[in-house]
Amino acid sequence: MSQRIPIIKIRENLIVTFISDIDDLTALKLQKDLTQKIHEENISGVKITGVLLDLTILDMVDSFLGRLISNIAQSATTMNANTVVIGIHPAVAITLVEMGLELKGAHTALNVEHAFELLDDLKAESEEIVE
Amino acid sequence: MNNQRFFEKYAIDIEFDLVKIRQVVRKIAKLMQFDIVAQTKLVTAVSELTRNVFDYVGKGEVILEEVGDSLKRGLKITVIDNGSGIPDINHAMSGGYSTSKGLGKGLIGTKKLMDEFSIQSEVGKGTEVVIVKWAV
């Protein structure tokens, strides 16, 4: 029953749009695919610096999905890429907060445009540190 | 007259049942005119509980009932399994087991989202969690 969520590369960023009614296996596969993709792009010479996760379609984020998003963000960080989450529904945000769940390691932005600006800023920051 | 308006049972058997049960709860919560936040809380809570059953036991059952009287209406969800049970519920509910897959964290989170929450577990027999959310 599990599906595969496409990962789209735009310049140095990877974009993932979550599907509705995502099952656990599909979510776990995405985590693996995404880290693998960062690695593949990096060795092929395109340095991935940003990951954009679009959650617009998700009508619920439980502790499993919350942890998965955190894990994606944290593995991306260890591979020197920043993660920005967009499209969290207000009801989902309220539920996450009341459950005491945090999307650790992930930044948030209002929309795709903001997300790209943020990713550019974060990239510039990390480059400054390197210098 | 019985105040109960519906009573439905769903089996937790395969991984995709979790998605199916979430969809059913969303549909019923909508029909009962829960607001979008309450709908989301109910779907999230049932997701936590059914996943615990699937991950730790493998099989179980979910019962959805409309409860209440002329003054208030609510959705009662009972999640049952015949697994090995939770040896120390207080420990689980205090976050003590939130190590590998996060059994405790899911239960604590679920409790926070609902108006009523009760858990009964007997070692060797299984676990039953009952949650209720009242429609405003």
Residue B112 in any domain: the answer is: yes
**Whether B41 contacts chain A with CB within 8 A:** yes
What are residue B131's phi and psi, to 5 degrees? Answer: -125, 150
Residue B83 in any domain: the answer is: yes
**Whether B111 contacts chain A with CB within 8 A:** no
Q: What is the mean pLDDT of chain B?
A: 89
| Cβ separation B15–A25 shorter than 8 A | yes
Residue scoring higher pLDDT (A127 or B95): A127
Distance, CA of A117 to CA of A44 (rounded, Å): 25
pLDDT for B1 equals 44
Residues of A with CB under 8 A from a CB of B: 1-2, 21-25, 59-64, 67, 89-92, 94-95, 98-101
Place of tokens 């599909």: A26
Query: With 60 as the cut, is the pLDDT of residue B99 above it?
Result: no
% of chain A beyond a pLDDT of 70: 98
**Domain total of chain B:** 1
Is there a contact between B59 and B12 (Cβ–Cβ < 8 Å)? yes
Query: With 80 as the cut, is the pLDDT of residue A75 above it?
Result: yes
Is there a contact between A101 and B109 (Cβ–Cβ < 8 Å)? yes
Residue B87 in any domain: the answer is: yes
pLDDT in tens, A40-67: 999 999 999 999 999 999 999 999 999 9
% of chain A beyond a pLDDT of 90: 88
Q: Please name each of the domains of chain A with its CATH number.
A: 7-130 (3.30.750.24)
| Cβ separation A60–B109 shorter than 8 A | no
ipTM score assigned to the predicted complex = 0.89
Residue B109 in any domain: the answer is: yes
AA letter at B73: R
Tokens of B51: 């996943």
Give the 3-state secondary structure of B93-104. HCCCCCCCCCHH
**What is the DSSP track for B8-33?**
EEEEE-SHHHHHHHHHHHHHHHHHTT
pLDDT in tens, A9-24: 999 999 999 998 899 9
Residues of B in contact with A28 (CB under 8 A): none
Distance, CA of A26 to CA of B129 (rounded, Å): 27
Tokens of B33: 């005119």
Segments of chain B assigned E as strands? 7-12, 60-68, 73-81, 116-122, 126-135
| Range(s) of the domain holding residue B119 | 7-135
**Whether B47 contacts chain A with CB within 8 A:** yes
Distance, CA of B74 to CA of B29 (rounded, Å): 9
Residue B100 pLDDT grade (very low, low, confident, very high; cuts 50, 70, 90): very low
Residue B75 in any domain: the answer is: yes
Q: How far is A70 from chain B (nearest CA, A)?
A: 14
Residue B2 in any domain: the answer is: no
Q: The domain that contains B104 carries what CATH number? A: 3.30.565.10
Query: With 90 as the cut, is the pLDDT of residue B90 above it?
Result: no
Place of tokens 């996943």: B51
Residue B78 in any domain: the answer is: yes
pTM of the model as a whole: 0.91
Query: With 50 as the cut, is the pLDDT of residue B111 above it?
Result: yes
pLDDT for A62 equals 94
Query: With 50 as the cut, is the pLDDT of residue B16 above it?
Result: yes
Place of tokens 């540190």: A129
pLDDT for B95 equals 66
pLDDT for A65 equals 94
Distance, CA of A63 to CA of B76 (rounded, Å): 21
